[in-house]
Amino acid sequence: MKKVLVVSYYFPPSGGPGVQRVLKFVKYLPQFGWQPVVLTVQNGDFPARDESLLNEIPADIRVHRTKIFEPYRVYRFLTRKPPDSAVDVENIPQVEKKRSIMERFAGLVRETFFIPDARIGWFPYAVPEAMQIVRNEGIDAVYTSSPPYTTALIGLELHRRTKLPWIAGFRDPWIGFLSSPERWALPRAVDMYLEKTVYQEADLVECAWAGILEDFRRKYPEGNALKAVHLPNGFDSADYPAAAPRNNDRFTVTYTGSMYGKRNPATFLRSVEELVAEGAVAANKIRLSFVGRFGAEVKEMINRSTIRPSVERLDYVAHAESIRRLTESDLLLLIVDESKDSREIVPGKVFEYLGARKPILALTDVDGAVARLIAETSSGRAVNNQDVPSIKAAFVECYRNYLYHTSFIQPNEEEVRKYERREVTRRLAELLDYLQTRR
């Protein structure tokens, strides 16, 4: 069996949706003739940890873990933040927020010196270990998963040294994404040079959503248009418990994931509050369940809601528990960041929502990628995040369906099955096979 070195910072015990993509590739690649060997970190500074995912790593998969210098630990100390606070929801200040002097200084250091990102401290540990793995294991190809974009630089160095076929995978765009730092001229030029070099030298660039592919092609039109390919995220049917009859005592709406900054439930909460005040919805008949990692401003938003008794907020739960909650809900809520750049973003969790086969209410750009996906799969409703009347109408429709034991969706199973993790992994294996034929 051919071997592929999979380089990923996010790997169990890391939690969150990003880790699922690589974990499922590792699970299913052997079925298509490729044995993965994984390179990751020993003690990563992950936004979330899920120790239960360690049990999902196949027993015959070798995982190599190296040291890493994690500057966010220093950042927390300097800014007096709790040592266990999550990087994304608390440690990276939002643009609209007033920042302390120390936060501004730390931000300047990050923007100037940590290129392409704050995980660059993994590079000097990862490259020697990867070279050793290549020699000892007889590796036939390399696959890297970004972000962090440092992982792509590790792949670039391996590709140059070994000449092995290399697929650079991207779950988010590199420069100009929502979470990208606003660098000044010199570090921005360096970052752009690194991004362009990776795109030019990788054998293939694999993108988790079509917007990433278009971003690369727009930036580098002189490149080979066929180099960038779209492999969507997905869901693994093996993760879902057998369907049980619905017996919720209240209309249960569930959101799983993270919320902070521009991704927040303000408009949704306002819509439901108005419905309750108007008598269209009974507060004691609904349960709004928010499960995941939330910034302080989102927690405050929930706590001051007039329907607070109807709201359940839980911290991050294990992946299996998150899936169980989806399957036991009556409606799944998806909120996409309020930003002009979010039109083509397709969060990984929307596919896990699809796998649950429950109605989805997506607050997003109605002409964007998420709305198109929901229409393609006939899996729910997509409404503009600022359109309160439409949100209210969609919510009432779902609420009444619950009361009268009906459903307004009939998912298109043929379209939904396209996003099975096994099927997406098969396509990745075909790309690896293709690169082998070119050697």
Instruction: Give the C-alpha separation, 325 to 254, whole Å.
Output: 8
Whether the CB-CB separation of 107 and 135 falls below 8 Å is answered with: no
* 43: in domain: yes
How far does Cα 79 stand from its chain's mean position?
27
Please state the domain count of the chain: 2
* 118: in domain: yes
Looking at the structure, tell me whether residues 400 and 361 fall in a common domain. yes
Whether the CB-CB separation of 336 and 364 falls below 8 Å is answered with: yes
Q: How many CB atoms lie within 10 A of CB 220?
A: 17
The pair of three-digit structure tokens given for residue 360, joined into one six-digit string: 């989805």
Looking at the structure, tell me whether residues 248 and 319 fall in a common domain. yes
Looking at the structure, tell me whether residues 290 and 188 fall in a common domain. no
pTM for the predicted model, two decimal places = 0.91
Q: Running DSSP on this structure, what letter comes out for residue 263?
A: B
Looking at the structure, tell me whether residues 219 and 254 fall in a common domain. no
Secondary structure of residue 109 in the 3-state scheme: helix
Q: Running DSSP on this structure, what letter comes out for residue 90?
A: I
Looking at the structure, tell me whether residues 201 and 183 fall in a common domain. yes
* 109: in domain: no
Helices (H), 56-95: 72-78
Whether the CB-CB separation of 38 and 63 falls below 8 Å is answered with: yes
- What's residue 89's pLDDT? 45
CATH code for position 120: 3.40.50.2000
**Residue length, the chain?**
439
Of residues 69, 78, 68, the one with CA closest to residue 106: 78
Looking at the structure, tell me whether residues 291 and 190 fall in a common domain. no
Instruction: Give the C-alpha separation, 294 to 390, whole Å.
Output: 25
Of residues 427, 419, 413, 295, the one with CA closest to residue 357: 413
Buried-exposed string 15-44: b where 16+ CB fall within 10 A, e elsewhere: bbbbbbbbbbbbbbbbebebbbbbbbbeeb
Whether the CB-CB separation of 140 and 164 falls below 8 Å is answered with: yes
Instruction: Give the C-alpha separation, 353 to 408, whole Å.
Output: 16
Instruction: Give the C-alpha separation, 294 to 239, whole Å.
Output: 25
Instruction: Give the C-alpha separation, 305 to 310, whole Å.
Output: 10
Say which residue the tokens 């869901």 belong to: 235
How many separate helices (H) and strands (E) can be counted in the chain?
Answer: 15, 13
The pair of three-digit structure tokens given for residue 379, joined into one six-digit string: 């899996």
Q: Running DSSP on this structure, what letter comes out for residue 153?
A: H
Whether the CB-CB separation of 93 and 107 falls below 8 Å is answered with: yes
Q: What is the pLDDT along the chain (439 residues), one digit of tens a residue?
A: 999 999 999 999 999 888 999 999 999 999 999 999 999 999 898 988 999 999 999 999 999 999 999 886 666 665 666 666 555 544 444 445 566 666 676 666 667 778 999 999 999 999 999 999 999 999 999 999 999 999 999 999 999 999 999 999 999 999 987 667 888 889 999 999 999 999 999 999 999 999 999 999 889 887 676 789 999 999 999 999 876 556 789 999 999 999 988 889 999 999 999 999 999 999 999 999 999 999 889 999 999 999 999 999 999 999 999 999 999 999 999 998 766 667 888 989 999 999 999 999 999 999 999 999 999 999 999 999 999 999 999 999 999 999 988 876 789 999 999 999 999 999 999 999 999 988 7
Q: What is the per-residue pLDDT across 218-273, written as a single tens digit (0 to 9) for each?
A: 898 876 767 899 999 999 999 998 765 567 899 999 999 999 888 899 999 999 99
Looking at the structure, tell me whether residues 351 and 429 fall in a common domain. no
Q: Find the domain containing 314 and state its range.
A: 237-417
Instruction: Give the C-alpha separation, 246 to 254, whole Å.
Output: 14
* 105: in domain: no
Looking at the structure, tell me whether residues 432 and 344 fall in a common domain. no
* 82: in domain: no
Looking at the structure, tell me whether residues 141 and 57 fall in a common domain. yes
Looking at the structure, tell me whether residues 214 and 358 fall in a common domain. no
Secondary structure of residue 382 in the 3-state scheme: strand
Q: Running DSSP on this structure, what letter comes out for residue 227?
A: G
> Position 228: which residue type?
A
Instruction: Give the C-alpha separation, 240 to 391, whole Å.
Output: 28
* 373: in domain: yes
Question: Helices 349-356 and 369-377 sit at what angle, rounded to 10 degrees?
Answer: 20
DSSP strand pairing (286-294 vs 166-170):
unpaired
Looking at the structure, tell me whether residues 152 and 22 fall in a common domain. yes
Looking at the structure, tell me whether residues 265 and 282 fall in a common domain. yes
Sheet of strand 380-383, all strands in order from the earlier edge strand to the far edge: 311-314, 286-294, 251-259, 331-335, 360-363, 380-383
* 93: in domain: no
Whether the CB-CB separation of 343 and 316 falls below 8 Å is answered with: no
| C-alpha count within 13 angstroms, C-beta hemisphere, residue 352 | 27
> Position 222: which residue type?
E
How far does Cα 58 stand from its chain's mean position?
22
Helices (H), 149-295: 150-162, 185-201, 210-219, 266-278
- What's residue 184's pLDDT? 85
- What's residue 91's pLDDT? 45
The pair of three-digit structure tokens given for residue 190, joined into one six-digit string: 């360096």
* 395: in domain: yes
Instruction: Give the C-alpha separation, 78 to 75, whole Å.
Output: 5
